[in-house]
Amino acid sequence: METQDFLKIGKGTKEIPKLKPSKVTIVGVSIKEKTKEGVKMKTPLVQISVKHPEKEEPIEMTKIKTIKADKVSVVGLWCQLDEDGLFQKGSAITDLMDFLQVSCLAELEGKEIEAVEESKEGYLCLKAY
């Protein structure tokens, strides 16, 4: 399509398909160290690949929804380490590991977990409560 053709295109009527909350299976875990622009991140981010029943290919998730002190919050899976080089107690990663009863991130693969709405915009995150 020629660039000038875009000037004559009308408005679409079809909504962007959104995945519904559902039980998902973790199919992989990786560590994201660079932004989309290729810049090294100060703190790496855990990226969890899950198989959603409504989508053929895996989707990536980097946030969990937790409840602490009766407050629901959505937090990123940042690799925060303590002085011993272990994941910081009380971090989102240790919350997820405790919820799924695993001792390391590699053990997450194959586990089932609920994907729930992160926000009213329709994005999904992992439910860890």
Among the listed residues 76, 24, 22, 67, the one whose alpha carbon sits nearest the alpha carbon of residue 47: 76
66 within a domain of the structure (yes/no): yes
- The Cα 46–Cα 27 span in angstroms is 14
12 within a domain of the structure (yes/no): no
pLDDT of residue 1: 62
Q: Give the whole-number percent of the chain exceeding pLDDT 70.
A: 98
103 within a domain of the structure (yes/no): yes
DSSP three-state, residue 71: strand
Q: Give the whole-number percent of the chain exceeding pLDDT 90.
A: 79
Provide the residue range defining the domain that includes 118.
25-127
6 within a domain of the structure (yes/no): no
Contact 126, 49 (CB under 8 A): no
Please provide the average confidence, as pLDDT, over all residues in the chain.
93
Task: State the pTM of this model.
Answer: 0.84
48 within a domain of the structure (yes/no): yes
47-99 confidence digits (pLDDT tens)? 999 999 999 999 999 999 999 889 999 999 999 999 999 999 999 999 999 99
96 within a domain of the structure (yes/no): yes
pLDDT of residue 6: 86
pLDDT of residue 63: 97
Question: What domain count does the chain have?
Answer: 1
